[in-house]
Structure 1
Amino acid sequence: MSDPSALFDEILGAVFDDVAPKPTSYQASHIKRKRASREDMEDRRRALWNIVLEMKPMTVRQVFYQATVRGIVEKSEAGYNKVQTDLVQMRRSGMLRYDWLADNTRWQRKPRTFDSIEEALEDTARFYRKSLWTDAGAYVEVWLEKDALAGVVQPVTAKYDVPLMVARGYASLSFLHGAADYIASLDVPTFIYHCGDFDPSGVNAGEKIEQTLREMAPAAEIHFERLAVSKGQISSWNLPTRPTKATDSRAKGFGDISVELDAIEPQRLRDLIEAAIQRHLPPEQFKVLLAAEASERELLKAFVGQIGAP
């Protein structure tokens, strides 16, 4: 890759004049505030751009946490607003690619349609995936507390054909029932890896998921592990903390500090999940299955070619 700073300078030179704050007339204020200079803003956006370039895809909140540990912005609501505003302007100006930031909270439902049977078969051949877990002797799910982070970890779960279950904090009873019903139908052990905030509600939400799944699928062999965030990760990775909310009814006895899942570096989170999956689908076995998938995809393409031939 070429020098990231040089690449940023090239983009910056083309677009910064369009995104720098324009002078506006306001009535004089009695409060003296230090306005960020063009150089200050340029330096901050350069630093944010480098963070996203290195760790993409990531959420805006993840960018904020990485900016705080590097001393780019203060760890406060004002610091978050700076990051959020910068990232909006950087994307709108073309300085930052939209697909480098993940947002899974807004999405569209639309059935896939085709103009012909041949087109449908071509699409099937292009996206054909072989079931990687048929002979694995285990079933694996990754549970995620935050919908916004789904786009960050989905590249890993999709790669390994592992379901990504987005609970959005406390999972609904209907969602849990559907998951438990499928687990109960399996004749292999189920391994569930949960990722959530280290705070009273986040920890309790994971515990409730485990408890309810065990109640609803009592005969199933379920192995449940809280993958992140853990106390050990907070200290060994020096994760940025925040005070535990005193208003949380479960805060008593929890401790003074809490840590959001977003505080973990995106690639570190992806690596953590991938390592957990690989306990059950070793890399060599994965390579063999991918080779078989590629071979079967070529067979499908050949079949489509025969149908389309005159």
Structure 2
Amino acid sequence: MTVYQASHIKRSRSTKAEIEERRQALFDIVAEMKPMTVRQVFYQATVRGIVEKSEAGYAKVQTDLVHMRRTGEMPYYWLADNTRWQRKPRSYDSIEEALNDTARLYRKALWHDVDAYCEIWLEKDALSGVVYPITSLYDVPLMVSRGYASLSFLHSSAECINDLDVPVFIYHLGDFDPSGVNAGEKIEETLKELAPEADIVFERIAVTPEQIETWNLPTRPTKASDTRAKNFGAISVELDAIAPDDLRDLVESAINEHLPQDQLEILKIAEEEERKQLKIFAGKRT
């Protein structure tokens, strides 16, 4: 039997030039796809061969992104983090300031005359900052379930949709793994139970097996410890593996299925005119 001795060769550290090259590559990824989460940057870096798909690779990305933000090489707002936030009421120094702020944020009710109601449900809080620019633009509620949604959260949502007299379209985005898929199924089941009068159409739009194949998404072994893993399959994929632009496109396409584009343009014009009127009114008070 051949006995192999332990190797005395230690893996060399990255050179300064290699680190700079890696950081430039990470910068290019974020510049193209912002806003992103750190984990999304890591997945995009692995598919491009910039770092290895391991905890060590993730640590490199995390360290590099911290360095680039602290040195001013990368704007902080390019990376989204909605897991930490502050509660504080909005306050103003004057009525004029309040009116100007109202004018800036004024939005017309985009869905008032649309024969549909739409919600986007997202499994991961950290990704809410990635898709919120789209849901905000189209005045669509973004519901962050954090995996299995609590009964209180589901009850609150069901109360809002139970009395609607239009079809309710709910689009869910979550991990492709036993728990992620089952969490979406439980949301659908519970909402239909708690809002029996609502006409609910529930659709999982990410992650799907077709997307895994089409986009060649990075996979990981399905956790054997998951009690639902028995008939699921050998591979799982995190929602973070989908490129941010593709994630936003999925959300926008789902919303646009129900929103007439000609009406959207008319509303934008009306909204801008009414915003101008608010600004004029604010100016008259100064």
When the two structures are superposed, what TM-score results if normalisation uses the length of structure 2? Answer: 0.95
1:183 matches 2:161: yes
Partner of 1:35: 13
* Aligned Cα root-mean-square deviation (Å): 1.0
When the two structures are superposed, what TM-score results if normalisation uses the length of structure 1? Answer: 0.88
- Alignment partners' CA distance in 2, 1:82 and 1:307: 55
- Alignment partners' CA distance in 2, 1:178 and 1:155: 24
Partner of 1:200: 178
1:273 matches 2:262: no
Indicate which of 35, 46, 69 corresponds to 1:57: 35
Structure 1, gaps ≥5 residues long: 1-29
Partner of 1:224: 202
Task: Kindly indicate whether the alpha-carbon contact (under 8 Å) linking 2:207 and 2:239 is maintained by their aligned counterparts in 1.
Answer: yes
Partner letter of residue 288 of structure 1?
I
Partner letter of residue 81 of structure 2?
D
Please report how far the alpha carbon of residue 294 of structure 1 lies from its aligned counterpart in structure 2 after TM superposition: 0.6
The 4+ residue runs of structure 1 with deviation greater than 3 A are none
Partner of 2:5: none
Indicate which of 68, 75, 89 corresponds to 2:46: 68
Indicate which of 69, 72, 79 corresponds to 1:91: 69
1:110 matches 2:70: no
Please say which of residues 299-308 and 288-297 is displaced more in the overlay. Answer: 299-308
1:129 matches 2:107: yes
Partner letter of residue 33 of structure 1?
R
Please report how far the alpha carbon of residue 265 of structure 1 lies from its aligned counterpart in structure 2 after TM superposition: 0.4
Partner letter of residue 226 of structure 1?
R
- Aligned length in residues: 279
Show CA shifts across 1:38-80 (max 9, x none). Answer: 1111111111111001100000000000000001111111111
1:302 matches 2:275: no
The residue matched to 2:285 in structure 1 has which SS? helix
Partner of 1:26: none
Please report how far the alpha carbon of residue 125 of structure 1 lies from its aligned counterpart in structure 2 after TM superposition: 1.2
Partner of 1:4: none
Partner letter of residue 225 of structure 2?
T
Show CA shifts across 1:265-306 (max 9, x none). Answer: 000110111011001113322111111111111111122222
Please report how far the alpha carbon of residue 31 of structure 1 lies from its aligned counterpart in structure 2 after TM superposition: 7.0
Aligned-pair identity (%): 71
